[in-house]
Chains A and B, each alone.
Chain A
Amino acid sequence: MSLPAKTGGQRSRFGLGGPGGILPFLRRNTILALILLLIAFVAGIEVARPGTVTPIWISNALLFAAPLGILGAGQTLVMLTGGIDLSVASVATGSAYLLATNASLGSVAAVLIGLGLGLGVGLLNGVGIAVLRVQPLVMTLGTGLMTEGVMVVYSQKMLASEPRVPEFIQALGAGKVLGAVPLDLFLWAPIAIAMIWGLRRTGFGRLTYAVGDNRQACELAGVRVWQVLLVDYVLCGFFAALAGLVLVGSTNAADLSLADVYLLPSVAAVIIGGTSILGGRGGYAGTIIGALILTVLTSLLTLLDAPEPIKQILYGAIILLLAAAYARLTD
């Protein structure tokens, strides 16, 4: 077992004239490496099936990447603190289902109920993890199971009313303006700006990094660590609920396994984007690229004329390869 010293990635960002070679350069600019990878994937699609990559295709890719990107925002926050949230998929599904079954109360009320679920589960996670110091993995696993179970019970009580997705949510999840700009980008872009700016420039953002880097040092320095963690988990639940709404808008059908497939990608997008699961390193810009890479990877795999299980195996294997390559690059 090696005990790696933390060096790469923390060197001066102005050292471009230093040691040459492409690897050290990419090591210092990991986000560039990710963008290059994304371009390579897109190029791969264009080579495999010439004429595929059009403005419409790009717009569709952005449209489909948005729910994953929003889920990834929450996951980025909690992973920067050294945690993980395994309840995001259940929360997204639950919020979508609550929205669809409560649509008769009015769209705004339905949206608020859906988001309320996210805030509630996030708060529960936060209290357990931040105040009672429960391991994030177990806590979010438990709340995820609870949410899922409650939804199953709820779905059986609610058989009477027909689930319906409000029209503006459908527009949000699937609509486009000016022919090619996906509507959900208007939700995702502000979130992205707020995340990147907030993590870099606000005290809360810095505290999130600091807590993930060294919780004990933060406590000794007088940081109220539990408050930082609590806010991060509540935000994560909120983003998960929001992603669920966008998702149900795009599928226009709420069922109880809607977001199940998003659990692995939500973690993978963050990891591939260069955020360390051990906390303290990374950022949301990487997660955005990670979400785009995963979305493009999915459409690359659909181009392959292979049965579904093969695609699933390839998808997992490529995620592992990318994550491993990233770990090697930055170690």
Chain B
Amino acid sequence: MTAAPGKSRASERNGGASDASAPPEADQRPSIAARLHRFMRRNPALVGMPALLVLVLAVTILVHPEFGAFDLQSLALGALPLAMAAAAQTVVVLSGGIDLSIGSLMAVSNVLAASTMQHASYQEALLLAVLILIAGAVQGALNGLIVVLSRIPDVVVTLTTGFIWGGVALLILEKPGGGAPEGFLNLATGTLCTDWLCSAWVPNALILLVTSVLLVWLPVRRTRIGLLIYAIGSDRIAAFRSGVNVELTRILAYVFGGLFSAIGGLALTMTTGIGAPLAGTYYTLSGLAAIVIGGVSLTGGRGGMLGPVIAALLLTLIPTDLIYLDIDPNYGQVIQGTLIVLVVMIGGFAAFLQSRK
């Protein structure tokens, strides 16, 4: 790391966080080992998180040798809503905000889907799903508008709007119920089966997860919008002075947060088959846990989408492992909390040591 600290710092600031590949360094060619080392340092989430996932999967197979296609499917099913909550939170946090209303937004989409799709055909359900996604984006926009217009800090606004959206969800559907057509549920609960390929080892939930993250996030990340989101997240005043429309970008980040939350709500409908007005509350906190473990800095501007999504898989896998190990799965939440605390404390400790050097 002694080669060109200034330069590497600069490229880090540019938003080349975790899911960009190593930038080419034409003028000097350090050894491959040094470059690999730097690449790993710069993209801890890109290297560390998949490694951790592989490790935990290996442990899972070790303690539960019968781990098969069905277990893989239930892992993907369980992780899908959580991964969407994490994705929603990631966009907002990257922009320097925080959204504590994600769980309620998911609940609203969930009950909207379950109450309108109950007697719909598959095609109608797909159309309704699109409308619900738009509604989710609008709700996110409302969150963002209130944050920008009221000048109240994000935490307070979204804590309160979360309360309000929770009321809206209860208003739409008082008790758990509703439903959706079989074909629609199959989008998540089934496994890959097309004319030319049929495999029980590829759960639809996993395909849905990957495609929805890629479809929404990749266009954002690769265009100006992503750059602006990273910019206002890392230094709002500098971004403002460079001519970035800070307020609009903040609202936009909340719009994407709302969109991902809506996908998460639809995923909840698909995985549970019903709508439950209180099902979402769990996902606000767990989604935050996933992004913290996934290496997204809560101060904004640092991190990527891969880490949180993999962290969501990890957070789903760990309680399963506990069941395999005959430990009370209720420890899952304890472990989740402990993981957050440990991750942030170790991060803090490392920074503390560095500052003393």
Question: Which A residues have a C-beta under 8 Å from some C-beta of B?
Answer: 1, 3, 84, 124, 128, 131-135, 137-139, 141-150, 152-153, 156, 263-264, 267-268, 271, 277-278, 307-313, 315-317, 319-320, 323-324, 327-328, 331
Contact = CB atoms under 8 A, between A and B. Distances in A.
B348 A133 contact: yes
Nearest to B146: A320
Contacts of B153: 277-278
Contacts of A137: 98, 155, 298
B163 interface: yes
22 contacts: A1-B246, A84-B155, A128-B341, A128-B348, A133-B351, A134-B345, A134-B348, A135-B299, A135-B344, A139-B344, A142-B337, A142-B339, A149-B331, A307-B171, A309-B171, A311-B167, A312-B170, A316-B161, A316-B163, A317-B164, A319-B160, A324-B150
B218 to A, nearest CB: 27
A277 B155 contact: yes
Given A132-B348, A143-B341, A267-B156, A149 B167 contact: no
B152 interface: yes
A267 B146 CA distance: 18
A331 B336 contact: no
B151 A308 contact: no
Contacts of A143: 337, 341
A134 B39 CA distance: 26
B157 interface: yes
A308 B166 CA distance: 11
A38 to B, nearest CB: 20
Nearest to A90: B337
A312 B174 CA distance: 13
Given A319-B160, A320-B146, A323-B152, A312 B337 contact: no
Contacts of A331: 151
A128 B155 contact: no
A278 B352 CA distance: 23
Contacts of B333: 145-146, 148-149, 152
Describe A's contact surface by its main secondary structure.
Answer: helix
A145 B336 contact: yes
Interface stretch (B24-32, B114-122, B255-263, B285-293): B285-293
B328 to A, nearest CB: 6
A138 B292 contact: yes
A135 B330 CA distance: 27
B152 to A, nearest CB: 5
Contacts, number: 151
Contacts of A152: 330, 333
Interface in B312-357: 328, 330-341, 344-345, 347-349, 351-352
Contacts of B298: 135, 137-138
B341 A124 contact: yes
B247 interface: yes
A310 B348 contact: no
A82 to B, nearest CB: 11
Interface size class, chain B: 35 or more
Contacts of A128: 341, 344-345, 348
A113 B240 CA distance: 51
Nearest to B281: A260
A128 B337 CA distance: 13
A327 B151 CA distance: 7
A144 B163 CA distance: 18
B171 A313 contact: yes
Contacts of B344: 128, 132, 134-135, 138-139, 142
A131 B344 CA distance: 12
Contacts of A264: 159-160, 163
B237 interface: yes
Nearest 4 Cβ contacts at the A-B interface: A149-B333, A146-B337, A145-B337, A132-B348
Given A264-B160, A319-B160, A327-B152, A144 B166 contact: no
Contacts of A149: 330-337
A144 B337 contact: yes
Interface string B222-260: 000000000000001100100000110000000000000
B163 A315 contact: yes
Contact of B330 (A3, A146, A156, A328): A156
A3 B167 CA distance: 34
Given A128-B345, A144-B285, A327-B152, 20 more contacts: A131-B352, A138-B340, A139-B345, A142-B338, A142-B344, A143-B341, A145-B289, A145-B334, A145-B337, A145-B340, A146-B338, A149-B336, A278-B153, A308-B170, A311-B167, A312-B164, A316-B161, A324-B152, A327-B151, A328-B151
